[in-house]
Amino acid sequence: MAVREILKMGDPRLLRIALPVTQFDTDELHLLISDMLDTMQAAKGAGLAAPQIGVDLQLVIFGSNTRNLRYPDAPIVPKTVLINPVITAPGETEGDTSVQEVEDWEGCLSVPGLRAMVPRFARIRYVGFDQYGDPIDRTVEGFHARVVQHECDHLIGKLYPMRVRDFTRFGFADALFPESIELQDD
């Protein structure tokens, strides 16, 4: 049980292309995941990627089995450990131009206090493995799809500000949403 320090944007370790996990169901892996869960919970995050605590591995966690306090209106995303993920947008590989993008607000534990409108695929398929090496294969949409795309971006050195197109909708949460009581950092 340990809450680890979350790296902030500007730290070069957030820009690395993470390495694949090669051994599953090891004590070391279980300990890392336990620390990540503690860290995500302490920060009330919707997800966390290993690079955010300085660990250069393709491992993300997200979701919870209860409502997220920071996103109380968001649907529940099942608590998931996702390793060596691959994301595709259905239709993308066939050059289907109807692949739909949607914009919504995002924040990031590595970019505290800020929010932006970020375009993401509306619907994705993601495959990968859990901590035991069992395969995961899900097709999801909405908030679930957004969280997965955000977290997996951390594995290729991308933070959400790098995805922003409209910088008039990028700013400090307390300035963007002055009426909100939900102003804690993310």
Q: Is 151 marked active-site?
A: yes
Give the CB-side neighbour count of residue 135, counting CA atoms within 13 A: 5
In the complex, what is the shortest distance from the CB of residue 2 to Ni ion, in angstroms, rounded to a whole number?
Answer: 20
Pick the piece of the chain touching Ni ion (CB under 5 A) from 15-23, 91-99, 108-116, 139-147: 108-116
Select from 18, 46, 108, 145 the one that contacts Ni ion (CB under 5 A): 108
Is there binding between residue 21 and Ni ion (CB under 5 A)?
A: no
Between 82 and 108, name the residue whose CB sits nearer to Ni ion: 108
Is there binding between residue 147 and Ni ion (CB under 5 A)?
A: no
Contact 136, 66 (CB under 8 A): no
In the complex, what is the shortest distance from the CB of residue 17 to Ni ion, in angstroms, rounded to a whole number?
Answer: 16
Binding mask 62-101 for Ni ion (x = CB under 5 A): ----------------------------------------
Q: How many CB atoms lie within 10 A of CB 150?
A: 23
Residue 157 falls in which region: left (phi positive, over 0), alpha (psi -120 to 50) or beta: left
Q: Catalytic residue among 94, 106, 141, 151, which?
A: 151
For 124, list phi and psi in degrees, rounded to 5.
Answer: -135, 160
Residue 41 falls in which region: left (phi positive, over 0), alpha (psi -120 to 50) or beta: alpha
Separation between Cα atoms, residue 46 and residue 26, nearest integer Å: 25
Binding residues for Ni ion (CB under 5 A): 108
Active site residues: 151
